[in-house]
Amino acid sequence: MRQNNDISACIYGALETYFKDLDGEMPAPIYDMVLKSVECPMFEVVLKQAGGNQRLAAEMLGINRNTLRKKLVDYKLV
């Protein structure tokens, strides 16, 4: 499969390795695992780039500030 950006390539490679390492075992719920693996560092980096300003970070992410706040609490980033 052709990847069109570095993030996609990283996720693709990580999932290929994940399945290889399972060695026939049943995988964990993959969708939630991938989202959590991507969301947390994304929120950390964007919040840092926004200088800790949650309103600006939410705007940069294209999400509601209340949604961002909930996610930051869920990931224990605040």
* pLDDT tens digits, one per residue of 20-54: 999 889 998 999 999 999 999 999 999 999 999 99
Average pLDDT, the chain: 93
Separation of alpha carbons 53 and 60, rounded Å: 11
Q: Is residue 2 predicted with pLDDT exceeding 60?
A: no
pTM of the model: 0.79
Separation of alpha carbons 71 and 25, rounded Å: 31
Q: Which CATH architecture has domain 6-74?
A: Orthogonal Bundle (1.10)
